[in-house]
């Protein structure tokens, strides 16, 4: 009785053209998941598969190289998400911390405005998006990313308050789509690489190479849904329009003199602080 031959090494795949027909479609579920979280219309077809697998084999990756899980999605870089929209029209008043410190040494000179809070200093605008509550707060900031009172702002000639906020929203959305979208792609690539390597190992009955560590199995719940300021504003607009429609459907009647009648009297109360 002849001995069972030892499992050989899997074949090496380095480009889309190397994939067999069943391998080209093996990441269709991943492509679909990516489409949903990144808000695209890229359903699995020949062109989309070629584009996706091009990312898989990017940077000269081949199935001879282990698939490495990408780091977790990092926080937003605050400075990238704000744009310059104006200048300070005057020195900003001292901060609460400066006032508090001055009270401890009343004979010292009054606190002076910091360089980034002096007249002529740049003013930045940044949307703060809360995806859980679906709310946006526009933050006016100095050059050190500290909040300021927008009353001290002289807008640049190309901006009104509305166009400045619109530009800030667009900048935020572009940066957020890139930040979250690219991380989703990196996770998708990791899963596709793992899936392909495991399939190639199983083809050779190489169960050791086919063993999949925790985290290599696709878990689409880990992907991050891209949420932009524009989407939140659109949802808010629709909600407000619905409230207006419902309120106008049964408006409250105005108070007419004829409804008061001739009997009784109008009463009022006076409260005196003694």
Q: At 234, list the tokens.
A: 């659109």
Closest CA to 38 of 243, 223, 265, 257: 223
Side by side, the strands of the sheet bearing 135-141 are 135-141, 122-130, 83-88, 153-155
Residues 189-221 pLDDT 10s: 999 999 999 898 888 766 555 555 655 788 999
pLDDT for the residue numbered 39: 95
pLDDT for the residue numbered 111: 59
pLDDT for the residue numbered 266: 61
**Which residues of the chain fall below pLDDT 50?**
1-6
As a whole number, the mean pLDDT across the chain is 86
Residue 239: CB atoms within 10 A of its CB come to 11
pLDDT for the residue numbered 212: 59
Angle of helix 46-56 relative to helix 161-203, nearest 10 degrees?
A: 80
pTM of model > 0.95:
no
């Amino acid at each position: 009785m002849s001995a069972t031959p030892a499992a050989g090494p899997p074949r090496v795949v380095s480009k889309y053209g190397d994939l067999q027909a069943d391998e080209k479609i093996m990441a269709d579920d991943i492509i679909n998941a990516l489409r949903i979280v990144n808000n695209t219309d890229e359903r699995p077809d020949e062109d989309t598969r070629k584009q996706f697998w091009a990312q898989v084999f990017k940077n000269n990756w081949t199935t001879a190289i282990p698939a490495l899980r990408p780091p977790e999605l990092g926080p937003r870089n605050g400075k990238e998400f704000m744009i310059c929209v104006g200048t300070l029209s005057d020195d900003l008043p001292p901060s609460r911390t400066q006032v508090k410190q001055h009270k401890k040494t009343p004979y010292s000179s009054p606190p002076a405005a910091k360089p980034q809070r002096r007249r002529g200093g740049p003013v930045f605008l940044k949307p703060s998006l809360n995806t859980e509550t679906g709310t946006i707060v526009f933050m006016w900031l100095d050059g050190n990313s500290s909040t300021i009172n927008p009353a001290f702002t002289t807008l640049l000639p190309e901006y009104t308050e509305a166009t400045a906020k619109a530009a800030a929203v667009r900048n935020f959305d572009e940066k957020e789509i890139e930040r979250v979208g690219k991380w989703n792609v990196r996770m998708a690539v990791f899963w596709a690489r793992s899936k392909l390597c495991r399939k190639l190992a199983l083809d050779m009955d190489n169960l050791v190479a086919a063993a999949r560590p925790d985290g290599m199995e696709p878990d689409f719940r880990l992907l991050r849904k891209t949420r932009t300021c524009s989407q939140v504003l659109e949802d808010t607009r629709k909600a407000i329009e619905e409230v207006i429609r419902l309120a106008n459907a049964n408006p409250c009647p105005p108070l007419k003199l004829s409804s008061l009648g001739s009997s009784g009297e109008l009463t009022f109360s006076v409260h005196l602080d003694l």
